[in-house]
Chain A
Amino acid sequence: MKIAQIDFGSFLTYSPYGETDVEKRSRTARTNLKRDEHINIGSNHPLMSDYLAELIKKKLDTLPFASFFNKDSILIPAPSSSLLKSDSLWVPERLANALVKTGLGKDTKSCLQRVRAVAKSSKVSSENRPKVIDHYNSLVVQKILGEPKEILVIDDIVTRGSTLLGAVNRLADAFPNARIRGFAFMRTITNSNEFESIIKPCTGKIILREDGWPLRRP
């Protein structure tokens, strides 16, 4: 792997364990996002993907990751940790399409595929979680016409950042001249004391540590 550090942006946060009202609501928002459900906003029922993409578009000038979305950005959905059948829900692809539909990014290219399942991070002890290299080794890039100048890897939720860092490294092999960054709609705040609100836009870095694990900041 050539890339030891990537820039990423994210829009929302959720708390997996906290018991305050807003933390519980953040988990409902996580479910809405992970299922791309229709949500109730007054008398409207937009898909979560469309709603969030429109919201980002509306607020873009004030968001720290505004520069991530420009007219040349090709959005590439991050694969899930498991294999995926063709008619199954693939949320990052739906999120990328929703962003492009609002004019955020030039096009979606679903060219990054998982060819071997890796363990779900939430289901294994921390020492058995897949490392960045495990993600990198289980991903392949399908050929697309031309090399994008600017790539944004789109994911639904970033926890430690292994998937994004593995994906960026795999894409960098295929598109060595492209600038590649990551964007996750939601970021996990594991320590309940650090959770502030559901909307908490940020930019930051995911760094490959010497032991093979990623470090996400913030």
Chain B
Amino acid sequence: MVEEASYPSIQLEDLLGRPLNNIEQKFAPKMIFYKGSMEIPIPGPRVSIIGSRGASEKGLSEAKEISKILIENEVVIVSGLARGIDTIGHKTAIEKGGRTIAVIGTSLNKVYPKENFSLQEEIMKNHLVISQYPAGHSTTPKDFVLRNRTMALISDATVIVEAGDSSGSLHQGWETLRIGRPLFICKDVVENSQLEWPEKMMNYGAMELDEPIDILENLPGNIKMMPELLQ
């Protein structure tokens, strides 16, 4: 248990620095509880690196490589603090001097899985951990589905590195497509004929990820639009 009874909260719109359109609002939580040292509104661009808790060595290595290239290009790594791919995404960001946001499926005073206690503490101290659940909330499996949708919403793009047909990452994948953000699926997964979901998602707009550089081409610039350029 992380030692703190309550945490500051903020409306999701304030966290992102802009109102949400009606499509984004559908599954958006009203309030977000947060702990960390990152500025608010949160910086961008932001990319979710997600996938299986029991990922293969190759999947973990791929997650590390993608995260590294994104960090080198000043992208904030977003993930869910789960075992496997998520953990690698956060740890790579920290090791490479980048920034990371953990979107957790429990309240902030809990840690799941327990083995990520020190990682959660590190992210709470030097980066940002957010949750849509208040302290004292009893965690249910559905909370993680809703969390995955929130993660899609705060990310400019999502990369599924490795996932089975029943993986929770698929909830985030479908939500990413629904709100019109780029969704990338790693090549090995697309080519895995045992899996049904990659082809389905590609019919609805997901893209095969050949090179991490492809992600960068689909992100907004970290330079803001100046309204006068549109006058």
Q: Let me know if B220 is at the binding interface, CB within 8 A.
A: yes
* Residues of chain B with a CB closer than 8 A to A28's CB: 220-221, 223-225
Q: How far is the CA of A31 from the CA of B220 in the complex (A)?
A: 6
Q: Let me know if A198 is at the binding interface, CB within 8 A.
A: yes
Interface segment, A65-73, A78-86, A99-107, A165-173?
A78-86
* Residues of chain A with a CB closer than 8 A to B19's CB: 38, 45
Chain B residue nearest to A39 (CB atoms) is: B225
Q: Let me know if B1 is at the binding interface, CB within 8 A.
A: no
How many Å from the CB of A121 to the closest CB on chain B? 11
Q: B224 to A89, Cβ gap below 8 A?
A: no
Q: B230 to A199, Cβ gap below 8 A?
A: yes
Instruction: Encode B173-199 as 1/0 by CB contact (under 8 A) with A.
Output: 000011111000000000000000000
Q: How far is the CA of A69 from the CA of B223 in the complex (A)?
A: 33
* Residues of chain A with a CB closer than 8 A to B156's CB: 31
Q: B225 to A38, Cβ gap below 8 A?
A: no
Name the contact of A25 in the complex, choosing from B21, B219, B225, B231 (C-beta under 8 A). Answer: B225
Q: Let me know if B204 is at the binding interface, CB within 8 A.
A: yes
Q: Let me know if A41 is at the binding interface, CB within 8 A.
A: yes
Q: A198 to B178, Cβ gap below 8 A?
A: no
Chain B residue nearest to A36 (CB atoms) is: B21
How many Å from the CB of A195 to the closest CB on chain B? 13
How many Å from the CB of A139 to the closest CB on chain B? 15
Chain A residue nearest to B175 (CB atoms) is: A88
Q: A87 to B204, Cβ gap below 8 A?
A: no
Interface hub of B181, B218, B229, B230 (most chain A Cβ within 10 A): B230
Given contacts A38-B21, A83-B204, contact A22 B225 (CB under 8 A): no
* Residues of chain B with a CB closer than 8 A to A109's CB: none
Q: Let me know if A40 is at the binding interface, CB within 8 A.
A: yes
Q: B23 to A88, Cβ gap below 8 A?
A: yes
In the complex, which range does the number of interface residues on chain A fall in? 35 or more
* Residues of chain B with a CB closer than 8 A to A42's CB: 227
Chain B residue nearest to A114 (CB atoms) is: B203
Q: How far is the CA of A89 from the CA of B25 in the complex (A)?
A: 12
Q: How far is the CA of A22 from the CA of B226 in the complex (A)?
A: 9
Q: Let me know if A27 is at the binding interface, CB within 8 A.
A: yes
Interface hub of B177, B219, B220, B231 (most chain A Cβ within 10 A): B220
Q: Let me know if A4 is at the binding interface, CB within 8 A.
A: no
* Residues of chain A with a CB closer than 8 A to B220's CB: 27-28, 30-32
* Residues of chain B with a CB closer than 8 A to A16's CB: 217
Q: Let me know if A117 is at the binding interface, CB within 8 A.
A: yes
Q: How far is the CA of A47 from the CA of B21 in the complex (A)?
A: 7
Q: How far is the CA of A143 from the CA of B11 in the complex (A)?
A: 44
* Residues of chain A with a CB closer than 8 A to B214's CB: 123
Q: How far is the CA of A80 from the CA of B220 in the complex (A)?
A: 20
Q: Let me know if A55 is at the binding interface, CB within 8 A.
A: yes
* Residues of chain A with a CB closer than 8 A to B21's CB: 35-38, 47, 89
Q: Let me know if B207 is at the binding interface, CB within 8 A.
A: yes
Instruction: Encode A30-61 as 1/0 by CB contact (under 8 A) with B.
Output: 11101111111110010100011001000000
Which 3 interchain pairs have the tightest Cβ spacing?
A: A89-B180, A31-B220, A82-B205
Can you name 25 A-B pairs with beta carbons within 8 Å? A21-B223, A25-B223, A25-B225, A25-B226, A25-B229, A28-B221, A28-B225, A29-B225, A31-B221, A32-B220, A35-B181, A36-B180, A45-B19, A83-B205, A85-B204, A87-B23, A88-B178, A89-B23, A89-B178, A117-B204, A122-B217, A123-B207, A123-B214, A198-B229, A199-B229
Chain B interface residues (CB < 8 Å from chain A)? 18-21, 23, 26, 156, 177-181, 202-205, 207-208, 214, 217-221, 223-227, 229-231
Additional 17 contacts, C-beta under 8 A, given A25-B229, A29-B225:
A22-B229, A28-B221, A31-B221, A36-B180, A37-B18, A39-B18, A83-B203, A87-B178, A88-B178, A89-B21, A89-B179, A117-B202, A120-B205, A123-B208, A123-B214, A197-B229, A198-B229
